[in-house]
Amino acid sequence: MIAAVLALRDVRRRYSDGYALDVPSLDVFAGEILGVIGPNGSGKSTLLRILGLLERPDAGQVIVGGRAVDARDALAERRRMATVFQEPLLADASVADNAGLGLRFRGVPAAEAAPRVARWLERLGVAALAGRAARTLSGGEAQRVALARALVLEPEVLLLDEPFSGLDAPTRAALVTDLGAILRADRVTTVLVTHERGEAQALADRVAVLMDGRLRQLDDTARVFYAPVSEEVARFVGVETLVAGRVLGREAGVTAVEVGGRVLEVAAVAAAGARVRVGIRPEDVTLTVAEGARVASSARNALDGTVTRVSASTHATHVLVDVGFPLVAAVTARSVNELGLRPGARVRAVFKASAAHLIPA
Amino acid sequence: MDLLAAGVREALRLLVSGDAEVVAILLLSLQVSGAATLISLVLGIPAGAALALLRFPGRTLVVSAVNAGMGLPPVVVGLFVTLLLWRSGPLGAWEILYTPAAIVLAQAVIAAPIVMGITLAAVQNVPEKFRLQLLALGASRTQMVGVVLREARLPMLAAVMAGFGGIISEIGASMMVGGNIKGQTRTLTTAMVLETGKGNFEVAIALSLLLLVLVFGVNWALTAIQQRRVW
């Protein structure tokens, strides 16, 4: 068992408005990127502040490098970490001065700090701004400087609190890519708090789902997204089809589940007769024309149905199909045209046995 | 109108010729008010910053007292400092009543709440989230306060201007605790009252011009720093 670089044990934090955080155990291992996702107000930021020794829990321990520490008297431990927040608040000084702030706090001589600062501004793509006044930067530039001033400290744990939330979509996408590359190349131990599940999916090795102050699931990223443990978690990680079903039995390596009068073939194992919820991610469902020959495909499930709703969003168009139960598919704008997807249209929905996930009802 | 014109002419002559008494009065005023401003900064900045950053019961009351103190009438300060420094008073043993030191003391008492109040407002204006971010970068409490004060440096220059401007031009306290003794505790403002009373308008005008130029000059220099935002 590898020792955690940072851990929480029986941590509780209560606020007067009734909101509470309750985390029996959480470990952050060296070199991993741990995503903490959850809706707004679920306690993610509080959790991160407690991890960063910026706030004391009412009960429980924060363990840094195997030793329990008290946030009131933990300057040395606090200096082993660095946090970047949603809003990059920079000091009224030059970009380079801002990036060197943490090194100055640690008493690193200016001659030694300058090349380190220059290198990190370079890695974050803001070297050209070094001499600029920090207050004149755009939001994206400022966040890159804020990341540089944290990364230049080479923290044992980098804590990120919604670092991309304040940015517009193209800026955010570029920063997620650049930061991901840096974190992986340097194997920076990172805790990333975000309400955008896509960011966690893109960056995290493991994901913790926090809801109402409690950890609902903590597992490898793929497991959380493709095998959520509860309906609530499933909804939050983007499983849009969630329907009640009954397990008929298992045969030839697949489980037959009856849902809304249709029989689905599901890869997951479950006992015959069990009541379950079947979860399917919209991007795992393909729509084709209903008529014609069977589509040659490894997909086990092909259900004909009628389109009941088409809703376009920024990323993809979601199509609700009645196949005996409501099934959501994500399609491209091109498919909407080519297949003539509109309410009333007949389509065939296809998905693999492995795309359907069973949650105990 | 002749009186004014003649007064200005005579005033300019006095200034240009560098009249010994006028120069002495000017220097004393500068020294006394400069020293008092320094003392008020040394006391007022840490106290104002502490008041901005700390939370304790009764804090609102203290903040209100400081804000009220920004408008402390110099005559009232003069009275109480006189009583303090009176031979039989609590600080009578210092024997500084009717010396420049007494004026420095009284003026520091007037300026300190001004400096404190403006510092308090300036530091409070620095977002709490910014302080959290400094701590998250590994700042000690002291380092955090240092950076926050540096962030508030522009509004705090206003504290220097307001403090100095308030006491260089006050008269009540200087008169009461200094006594307007020629060659010892005669300042620009007390001299002006005296000369006006004696009918020496040209001297009074000369002194008032000096005072105006002085106040303007100091504020101009500080404003230049503030607006250029060089450091």
* ipTM, interface predicted TM-score of the complex: 0.87
Task: Note the pLDDT tens digit of each residue in A288-315.
Answer: 987 655 555 567 899 999 999 999 876 7
Average pLDDT over residues A116-140: 95
For residue A320, what is the domain's CATH number? 2.40.50.100
Q: Which of the residues A50, A77, A89 would you substitute to probe the B interface, choosing the one with the greatest number of B C-beta atoms within 10 Å?
A: A89
- Identify whether A243 is part of a domain: yes
Question: Which residue among A200, A235, A270 closes a domain?
Answer: A235
- Identify whether B60 is part of a domain: no
* Of the partner residues A54, A91, A153, the one whose CB lies closest to the CB of residue B135: A54
CA A102/CA A107 separation, integer angstroms = 9
- Into how many domains does chain B fold? 1
Specify the higher pLDDT residue, A36 or B200.
A36
Task: Note the pLDDT tens digit of each residue in A166-175.
Answer: 899 899 999 9
Nearest CA in chain B to A85: B133
- Into how many domains does chain A fold? 2
Residues A134 and A30 in one domain: yes
Residues A226 and A251 in one domain: no
Task: Note the pLDDT tens digit of each residue in B5-15.
Answer: 887 888 788 88
Q: Which residues of A sit within 8 Å Cβ distance of B? A: 49, 52, 54, 75, 78-79, 81-83, 85, 87, 89, 91-92, 101-102, 105-106, 146, 149-150, 153, 159
Average pLDDT over residues B71-79: 93
Instruction: Please give the residue range of the domain that contains residue B102.
Output: 2-54+67-228
Contact A130, A121 (CB under 8 A): yes
- pLDDT value of position A17: 75
* Of the partner residues B133, B135, B138, the one whose CB lies closest to the CB of residue A89: B133
Residues A342 and A283 in one domain: yes
Burial label for A82, CB within 10 Å (0-12, 13-18, 19+), is buried
Determine whether the interchain pair A83/B140 forms a contact, defined as Cβ–Cβ distance below 8 Å. no
Residues A207 and A257 in one domain: no
- Identify whether A155 is part of a domain: yes
Residues A29 and A174 in one domain: yes
Residues A31 and A64 in one domain: yes
Residues A137 and A185 in one domain: yes
- pLDDT value of position A44: 94
Q: Which chain A positions have a beta carbon within 8 Å of B135's beta carbon?
A: 54, 78
- pLDDT value of position A1: 56
- Identify whether A229 is part of a domain: yes
Task: Note the pLDDT tens digit of each residue in A54-91.
Answer: 999 999 999 999 999 998 889 999 999 999 999 999 99
For residue B103, what is the domain's CATH number? 1.10.3720.10
Task: Give percent of chain B with pLDDT exceeding 90.
Answer: 68
CA A196/CA A193 separation, integer angstroms = 9
Instruction: Please give the residue range of the domain that contains residue A318.
Output: 239-360
pLDDT above 50 (res B231): no
- pLDDT value of position A176: 95
For residue A81, what is the domain's CATH number? 3.40.50.300
Residues 6 or more apart whose Cβ sits within 8 Å of residue B49: B119, B120, B123, B145, B148, B149
- Identify whether B123 is part of a domain: yes
Residues A317 and A353 in one domain: yes
Pairing of strands A286-289, A254-259: unpaired
Contact B103, B32 (CB under 8 A): yes
- pLDDT value of position A259: 95
Task: Note the pLDDT tens digit of each residue in B147-188.
Answer: 999 999 888 888 889 999 999 999 999 999 999 999 899 999
- Identify whether A275 is part of a domain: yes
